[in-house]
Amino acid sequence: MDSPNIILKKVWDFESFRPGQEAIISDLYANNDVFALLPTGGGKSICYQLPGIAKSNLTIVISPLVSLMQDQVEQLLKRNIRAAAIYGGMSFREIDITLDNAKFGGYDFLYLSPERLETSIFLERFKAMKVSQIIIDEAHCISQWGHDFRPSYSRISELRELKPNVCFAAFTATANNRVKEDIIEKLGLRNVKLHQTSFLRENIAYRVFQSENKKARTLELCKSLKNSSGIVYCQTRRSVRELNLMLQSEGLSSEMYHGGMKNEERKETMRLWMENQRKIIVATNAFGMGIDKPDVRYVIHYEISDSIEGYFQEAGRCGRDKGKAIGFALYNDKDLKVFKNSIGVRFPEKKEITKLYSKLFQHFKIAFGDGKDQVVEINIENFANIHSIKPIIAFHGLKILELNGDLSLSESIFHPAKIKLMIGVSELYNFEIQNETLKDISQFLIRKLPGVFDQYKRLDISLLAKTVNLTEKDVLKKLNTLHTYGVCDFMPASTKPTITFLRSRSQNDTFLLNPSVYGIRKQNYVKQIDSITAFVKSKSCRSKSLLAYFGENIEPCGTCDICVRNENKKMDLAQLILKQLVKKSTISTLMNQLGRTEQEIIDALDYLQGEELVDCSKYTIVKR
Q: What is the pLDDT of residues 394-406, one digit of tens each?
A: 999 998 998 888 8
Run of H or E residues at 256: strand 254-257
Instruction: Give me the pLDDT at residue 41, please.
Output: 64
Tens of pLDDT, residues 484-543: 999 999 988 776 778 889 889 998 888 888 887 888 888 889 999 999 999 999 999 999
Distance CA 124, CA 114 (A): 16
How far is Cα 438 from Cα 173, in angstroms, rounded to an integer? Answer: 51
In sequence order, the 6+-apart residues with CB closer than 8 A to the CB of 494 are: 89, 377, 414, 415
* Strand ranges in 266-414 using DSSP code E only, listed in sequence order: 280-283, 296-301, 325-331, 375-377, 407-410
pLDDT digits (tens, 9 = 90+) for 184-240: 998 999 999 999 888 889 999 999 999 999 999 999 999 999 899 999 999 988 999
pTM for this prediction: 0.78
- Residue pair 260/324 in contact (Cβ under 8 Å)? The answer is no
3-state DSSP percent of the chain in helix, strand and coil, to 5: 50, 15, 35
- Predicted confidence at residue 290, as pLDDT, reads 59
Q: What is the mean pLDDT of the chain?
A: 90
Measured distance CA(584)–CA(224) in Å, rounded: 11
Pairing relationship of beta strands 58-62 and 131-136 according to DSSP bridges: parallel
Which is more confidently placed, 529 or 154?
Answer: 529
Give dist(CA 299, CA 302) in Å, integer: 9
- Residues in CB range of 198: below 8 A, 6 or more apart: 547, 552
Measured distance CA(505)–CA(374) in Å, rounded: 11
Cα dihedral sign for 156, 157, 163, 168? positive
Q: Express each pLDDT in 295-340 by its tens digit.
A: 999 999 999 999 998 899 899 999 988 899 999 999 999 999 999 9
What's the whole-number mean pLDDT along residues 18-30?
A: 92
C-alpha 67/C-alpha 137 separation (Å) is 13
Tell me the CB-side half-sphere exposure of residue 290, using CA atoms within 13 A: 16
